[in-house]
Amino acid sequence: MTQLKNIILPDIGDFDSVEVIEIMVSPGDEIKKEDSLITVESDKASMEIPSESEGIVKEIKVKVGDKISQGSTVIILEEKDIQGQENSSLESKPTLTSQSEKNSSSQPLSSNKKSDIECDVAVLGSGPGGYTAAFRAADLGKKVVLIERYSTIGGVCLNVGCIPSKALLHTAKVITDAEDTANHGVSFGSPKIDLEELRSWKTNKVVKKLTMGLAQMAKQRSVEIVEGEGKFLSPNQIIVKLNDGSTKIIGFHSAIIAAGSQPSRIPNTPEDERIMDSTGALELKDIPKKLLIIGGGIIGLEMGTVYEALGSLVTVVELSDGLIQGCDKDIVRPLQRRMEKRFENIWLKTKVTKIETKKEGIVVHFDGADAPKELMFDRVLVSVGRKPNGHKIDVEKAGVNVDEQGFIAANRQMKTNVDHIYAIGDIIGQPMLAHKATHEGKIAAEVIAGEKVEFQAMTIPSVAYTDPEIAWAGVTEEEAKAQNLEIEKSVFPWAASGRAISTNRTEGMTKLIFDKKTQRIIGAGIVGTNAGELIAETVLSIEMGADAHDIGLSIHPHPTLSESVAMAAEIKEGTITDLYIKKR
């Protein structure tokens, strides 16, 4: 009885592939077990591959010059004697090499499916990072497909983040400014708030204007927008589940992952419409009488500012010992003082232990020195950070590594561990800021277009659009201390600024941080009205390597808040005249 058997290349050690340099048998040859069949050559040595059983050579599956690896079929043998050949079978099962076993978690699958659309660059996610990358790539001559799961492009930033929150913060500022004006002779009375009108303005006049503008610019650039949830199918394909239930496969040469992040949730939080994340808070369903904000970061405090101005009694609870972590405490202090006056409570070092939903309200249990055991609120905003969407897009099918939290590592050229797949924005790490994502999006697009660029910026500024605003860039004092940097700082209090006094907002301050050795500015922190606008000058100064004279000797217009930057620089040089500083 005869049986056909595949003779495969056995384990030859730690080689990916070896080259066949000689074939020592021909079809029809009768061979014995251990007879040499072929000779292969690695970069180290050549090696004869013996037959593992005996029989007649039926077919030779390799030729000289072929690259083969462990598991490749070498010849097909007609076995004479199958007794004792327990392992013989028609189907040889190639075993994985040890290397691939180690990485089995991100073993990409191959796909034989044909792509419906082929493009040079597929961008997954249309937030500020994604659309910037798509537009830049298109401008550089690439055929681009932009995949977005929602019906409007723009991502969190435009639809449920930066932009709508700024619209509401503007309204809040008008209300509180009008309130303040009553103290110096002009009263408007208490505001009448038409929530529906406010919502409609935010949605239709602000957000829509921007998203429609984007859609039009995409059209002008021939960037095709595919609406639906995109997931990787293979290293060169993304499958998009369209809203009508059908699917479309996008084949790409390069992909840019810009899938962003979403609000983190507190475990064991009950499902209830009154427990909101930032998206829910921006919907402005009603003005709750009592609002609890869990998390004293930028997002929480901005929403708190809005709701407080609209009339809610706002309580902020924060786990750590200060609001807005990452910013120097002296910069946060004026904001905290104002909030302490306007908000009902600010509880630091306080933990939320339990959230219960009742018909009449949400009962929240606390564990902290200042907080009561429990208290009822009409609504609760959970703003405890954002988590990346790395686990929602099947990146492992493309061989891209994603960590436990959902972050995808990228290098300074935005490349992931897979050469032609890039990642930008929130999904590659902190800080999760739109202006970081747009900068990275341009880099990714330019690298794909063959330009030699990389992320070289020295600083990414942060802004909290609270009232007063807080902004910082470069090295903070706390960071300098932690890194043992030798610094000199100079602080200009806005109490000495004519402009701040004339707007009745003197709580602000401008702080500049200089490297003691090089005398260059390496950081800045500003609190006060329009701090977010003022920080830009310091970012430019840091990038340009300016020193205090460069800033102080540039003439700043008077009277403006921008003068405060120049004044702080003059304090450093001892040339200030708007303040009297006693010589030491």
417 sits near other proteins (criterion: CB under 8 A): yes
400 sits near other proteins (criterion: CB under 8 A): yes
479 sits near other proteins (criterion: CB under 8 A): no
**β-bridge partners, 251:** 118, 237
Shortest Cβ 259–other proteins spacing (Å): 17
- Please say which residue, 43 or 273, places its beta carbon nearer to other proteins: 43
93 sits near other proteins (criterion: CB under 8 A): no
251 sits near other proteins (criterion: CB under 8 A): yes
For the four alpha carbons of 538, 539, 540 and 541, in that order, the dihedral sign comes to: positive
**Which stretches of 359-502 are DSSP H helices?**
434-448, 477-482, 498-502
Chain positions 537 to 576 lying near other proteins, rule: CB under 8 A, are 543-545, 547
411 sits near other proteins (criterion: CB under 8 A): yes
| Site stretch for other proteins (CB under 8 A), options 217-225, 307-315, 334-342, 562-570 | 217-225
Is there a contact between 306 and 419 (Cβ–Cβ < 8 Å)?
no
Residue 157 neighbours by CB distance under 10 Å:
23
- Please say which residue, 33 or 219, places its beta carbon nearer to other proteins: 219
425 sits near other proteins (criterion: CB under 8 A): no
Ramachandran angles phi, psi of 484, nearest 5°:
55, 35
| Site stretch for other proteins (CB under 8 A), options 79-87, 140-148, 317-325, 375-383 | 140-148
235 sits near other proteins (criterion: CB under 8 A): yes
Ramachandran angles phi, psi of 524, nearest 5°:
-155, 150
Distance between CA 535 and CA 527 in Å, rounded? Answer: 10
Closest CA to 79 of 55, 110, 114, 108: 55
- Please say which residue, 271 or 404, places its beta carbon nearer to other proteins: 404
117 sits near other proteins (criterion: CB under 8 A): yes
The enclosing H or E element of 309 equals helix 298-310
CA dihedral 277, 281, 286, 288 (to 10 degrees): 70
70 sits near other proteins (criterion: CB under 8 A): no
Shortest Cβ 461–other proteins spacing (Å): 14
451 sits near other proteins (criterion: CB under 8 A): yes
Q: Where does residue 466 rank: exposed (0-12), middle (13-18), buried (19+ CB within 10 A)?
A: buried
User: How is residue 317 annotated by DSSP?
Assistant: E
- Please say which residue, 57 or 513, places its beta carbon nearer to other proteins: 513
- Please say which residue, 172 or 225, places its beta carbon nearer to other proteins: 225
Shortest Cβ 435–other proteins spacing (Å): 14
- Please say which residue, 100 or 353, places its beta carbon nearer to other proteins: 100
Distance between CA 560 and CA 555 in Å, rounded? Answer: 12
Shortest Cβ 569–other proteins spacing (Å): 15
469 sits near other proteins (criterion: CB under 8 A): no
Beta strands in 340-419 (DSSP E): 345-347, 351-358, 361-367, 374-377, 379-382, 386-388
- Please say which residue, 151 or 181, places its beta carbon nearer to other proteins: 151
Is there a contact between 124 and 230 (Cβ–Cβ < 8 Å)?
yes
202 sits near other proteins (criterion: CB under 8 A): no
Give the chain's length: 584
| Site stretch for other proteins (CB under 8 A), options 228-236, 273-281, 289-297, 348-356 | 228-236
Binds other proteins by CB under 8 A, chosen from 62, 293, 522, 527: 522
| Site stretch for other proteins (CB under 8 A), options 76-84, 347-355, 416-424, 524-532 | 416-424
Shortest Cβ 398–other proteins spacing (Å): 9
Is there a contact between 512 and 572 (Cβ–Cβ < 8 Å)?
yes
- Please say which residue, 299 or 437, places its beta carbon nearer to other proteins: 437
Ramachandran angles phi, psi of 23, nearest 5°:
-115, 125
| Site stretch for other proteins (CB under 8 A), options 78-86, 313-321, 371-379, 453-461 | 453-461
Instruction: Return the SS3 of 137.
Output: helix
Residue 45 neighbours by CB distance under 10 Å:
9
Distance between CA 215 and CA 211 in Å, rounded? Answer: 6
| Burial letters 81-103, b for 16+ CB under 10 A, else e | eeeebeebeeeeeeeeeeeeeee
99 sits near other proteins (criterion: CB under 8 A): yes
142 sits near other proteins (criterion: CB under 8 A): yes
| Site stretch for other proteins (CB under 8 A), options 45-53, 189-197, 412-420, 561-569 | 412-420
Catalytic residue among 365, 439, 556, 558: 558
Question: Based on C-alpha coordinates, what's the Rg of the chain?
Answer: 32
- Please say which residue, 161 or 235, places its beta carbon nearer to other proteins: 235
Cβ partners under 8 Å of residue 514, min gap 6: 487, 488, 489, 490, 520, 521, 522, 547, 548, 572
119 sits near other proteins (criterion: CB under 8 A): yes
The token duo for 41 is: 């050559």
Binds other proteins by CB under 8 A, chosen from 5, 248, 338, 415: 415
403 sits near other proteins (criterion: CB under 8 A): no
| Site stretch for other proteins (CB under 8 A), options 97-105, 187-195, 505-513, 564-572 | 97-105
556 is catalytic: no
- Please say which residue, 79 or 446, places its beta carbon nearer to other proteins: 446
Shortest Cβ 9–other proteins spacing (Å): 16
- Please say which residue, 160 or 522, places its beta carbon nearer to other proteins: 522
Half-sphere exposure of 372 (CA within 13 A, CB side): 8
- The DSSP string of 197-223 is HHHHIIIIIIIHHHHHHHHHHHHHTTP
452 sits near other proteins (criterion: CB under 8 A): yes
Binds other proteins by CB under 8 A, chosen from 340, 454, 478, 488: 454
- Under the rule (CB under 8 A), what is the footprint of other proteins? 43, 99-100, 103, 106-108, 110-111, 115, 117-120, 141-143, 216, 219, 222, 224, 234-237, 251-253, 399-401, 409-413, 415-419, 451-454, 456-458, 475, 485, 515, 517-518, 520, 522, 543-545, 547
Q: Which residues are catalytic?
A: 558
